[in-house]
């Protein structure tokens, strides 16, 4: 949604985050939410130990758990997907970078220490997403409790044209060159469209993503935007 009037104000989003997630930032709660079958037996924990050996030895288990939950928040509230209320008003916490900063600020406040910045959540789960289902389900259950829904968006490559329209400068405008550029640009756009189509097809043909399964477990249906 691009209409800024159809989005919840920042302070309302912050208030809802506090209501939904404000009480869970202690180690026992995060373990119960994210790894109910056992944190220290999980592959995520093994990967965490390996990464600390490789150079980030100061990261604590609490930081890892908070970061893992933050990645799950980013995957649902960002990554081109939409959280909306019953009137269709979007729960918008910013762009990919902005939403990463929003989540980092929220978690830092809960931990009373500046552990994270936007880069920690900028792309969500690089690791361990196969074990993120329980965290996703918890987040979706909170959305359902507060009468929000979630709309899925397939990943797609987008482009932005920063070039100046030559027609705005008649002295520099050459019709034949302009037509050639338009044809080349359209060919490029067609290539991008084909790439997006292939990405979507691969996702549809692959096993259902964990985040979709988690949504269906909570809401009893697939999200808008997902084609089963």
**pLDDT tens string 194-212:** 665 676 677 677 789 999 9
Residue 194: inside a domain: no
Cβ count near 68 (within 10 Å): 23
Residues 65, 116: contact at Cβ < 8 Å?
Answer: no
Residue 108: inside a domain: yes
Alpha helices in the chain (DSSP H): 10-21, 27-34, 43-53, 61-77, 96-111, 133-145, 175-205, 210-219
Spatial separation of the C-alpha atoms in residues 65 and 71, rounded to whole Å:
10
Residue 218: inside a domain: no
Residue 84: inside a domain: yes
pLDDT score recorded for residue 123? 76
pLDDT at 162 over 50: no
Residue 189: inside a domain: no
DSSP per position, 32-52: HHH-TT-STTSHHHHHHHHHH
Of 45-49, 161-165, 182-186, 207-211, least confident by mean pLDDT is: 161-165
Residue 78: inside a domain: yes
Q: Give me the chain's average pLDDT, please.
A: 84
Spatial separation of the C-alpha atoms in residues 1 and 89, rounded to whole Å:
9
Q: Where is pLDDT greater, at 74 or 193?
A: 74
What's the whole-number mean pLDDT along residues 140-158?
89
Confidence of residue 145 (pLDDT cuts 50, 70, 90): very high
Residue 173: inside a domain: no
pLDDT tens figures, 21-63 = 999 999 999 999 999 999 999 999 998 888 887 765 678 999 9
Q: Which residue, among 127, 126, 146, has the nearest Cα to 46 in the 3D structure?
A: 127
Residues 154, 225: contact at Cβ < 8 Å?
Answer: yes
Spatial separation of the C-alpha atoms in residues 206 and 191, rounded to whole Å:
23
The structural domain count of the chain equals 1
Q: Where is pLDDT greater, at 192 or 90?
A: 90
pLDDT score recorded for residue 63? 94
pTM more than 0.85 = no
Burial bucket for residue 21 (CB in 10 Å: 0-12, 13-18, 19+): buried
Residue 70: inside a domain: yes
Domain interval for residue 77: 4-151
Spatial separation of the C-alpha atoms in residues 208 and 211, rounded to whole Å:
8
């Amino acid at each position: 949604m691009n209409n800024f009037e159809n989005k919840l104000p920042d302070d309302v989003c912050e208030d809802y985050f506090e209501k939904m997630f404000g009480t869970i930032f202690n180690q026992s709660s995060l373990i119960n939410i994210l790894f109910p079958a056992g944190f220290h037996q999980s592959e995520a924990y093994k990967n965490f130990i390996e990464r600390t050996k490789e150079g980030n030895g100061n990261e604590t288990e609490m930081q890892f758990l908070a970061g893992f939950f933050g990645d799950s928040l980013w995957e649902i509230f960002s990554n081109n997907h939409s959280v909306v209320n019953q009137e269709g008003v979007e729960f918008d916490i910013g762009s990919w970078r902005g939403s990463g900063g929003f989540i980092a600020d929220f978690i830092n406040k809960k931990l009373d220490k500046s552990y994270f910045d936007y880069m920690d959540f900028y792309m969500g789960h690089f690791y361990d997403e196969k074990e993120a289902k329980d965290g996703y389900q918890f987040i979706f259950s909170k959305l359902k409790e507060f009468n929000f829904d979630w709309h899925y968006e397939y990943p797609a490559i987008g482009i932005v044209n920063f070039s100046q329209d030559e027609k705005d400068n008649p002295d520099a405008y050459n019709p034949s060159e302009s037509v050639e550029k338009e044809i080349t640009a359209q060919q490029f756009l067609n290539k991008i469209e084909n790439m997006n189509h292939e990405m979507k097809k691969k996702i549809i043909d692959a096993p259902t993503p964990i985040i979709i399964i988690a949504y269906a477990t909570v809401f009893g249906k697939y999200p808008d935007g997902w084609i089963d």
